Structure 1
Amino acid sequence: MSNAEAVPLEGVASAPCCPPLTERPFSAEEAERAAPMFKALGDPVRLRLFSLVASHAGGEACVCDISDVGVSQPTVSHHLKKLKEAGLLTSERRGTWVYYRVEPAVLASMGHLLTPAAP
């Protein structure tokens, strides 16, 4: 696997994995697909790192720009790895630095899950 590839959640990167939470209860299979994303974001440091990448100018962030989150560099790397494993981030090595990106489809999928049902 190249540095630019993510390990996507089944269906998250290409299409929403599940209906909005307010539409109907998740099936067991839908919950299994969505849970890794929520689990990854359930840690405050990971949520902050995800937010830093998502809000960074140009849609990507160098690890050198986001590593000041109050934990050691190895811990930052661990959390970024967990976000990648959950399919929330992709990365690309450029020289000595690694750049992280949140794919727009991931944000769209998350938004879809959290969108209230139409009245």
Structure 2
Amino acid sequence: MVKTKNTEQDVRYRLGLKLLELGNIVSEQLDLRTIALPWMRELCTDINEAVHLVILDGDEAVYIEKVESSQAVRLHTRVGKRSDLYIGSRPKLLLAYLPETDWETLLEKNDFY
């Protein structure tokens, strides 16, 4: 990553602006976000609650878009956040619709206690 200038080095390594640029390119290519955003805004207006768009990536949920509500108390999430499928209501929705074979794989890979 240093060779491709994706990191900067002082005393420690940290991610460089090039990775931010690459991330933005990827996010612009997510047509799902473009299609869903007007519906998400309308839903947010109707219910006055935050609306999140979450997709399945392997055995994790990834938040790819959000529309904030005007509520004083909010769930703070960020686009790009990853979560285990058994943590939080949004990832659990994805978990609920997985095929049974995927459930078995998840149960083998994780300790839920």
TM (norm. structure 1) is 0.27
TM (norm. structure 2) is 0.28
Normalized per residue, the structure richer in helix is 1
